[in-house]
């Protein structure tokens, strides 16, 4: 499960403060070269797109998740917190 506690990574990079953060920007996580050069800045929409199909949004990403095509902000495993646009899992 991804970590939402600041300062710790889980299966993937820490999701605290994710929105408006550049993809591949945390110094303490090893991202794929594809994600680092993607130019993405995380928003609710592109997080939904990434959860649905990581390879479609960022071809050649090393994300081990196959994708959850029916995952949406309101029905998926992640949701937005009412405070500050944080991700909750």
pLDDT tens series, the chain, 89 aa:
555 566 666 667 877 788 889 999 988 888 999 999 999 999 888 888 888 888 999 999 887 776 666 665 544 445 554 344 555 54
Owner of token pair 């299966």: 11
Q: What is the CATH number of the domain that holds 67?
A: 1.10.760.10
Measured between alpha carbons, how far is 3 from 12 in angstroms, rounded to an integer? 8
- Domain residues for the domain of 77 are 1-89
Measured between alpha carbons, how far is 8 from 66 in angstroms, rounded to an integer? 23
Quote the distance between the C-alpha of residue 30 and its chain's center. Answer: 14
Domain count, the chain: 1
Contacts of residues 2-8 at CB distance under 8 Å and 24 or more positions apart, as own/partner, are 2/87, 2/89, 4/86, 4/87, 4/88, 4/89
């Amino acid at each position: 499960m991804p970590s939402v506690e600041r300062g710790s990574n889980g299966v993937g990079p820490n999701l605290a403060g994710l929105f408006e953060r550049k993809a591949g920007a945390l110094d303490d996580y090893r991202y794929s070269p594809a994600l680092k050069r993607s130019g993405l800045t995380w928003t609710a929409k592109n997080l939904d797109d990434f959860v649905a199909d990581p390879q479609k949004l960022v071809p050649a990403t090393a994300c081990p998740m196959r994708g959850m095509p029916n995952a949406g902000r309101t029905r998926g495993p992640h949701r937005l917190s009412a405070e500050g646009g944080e991700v909750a899992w």
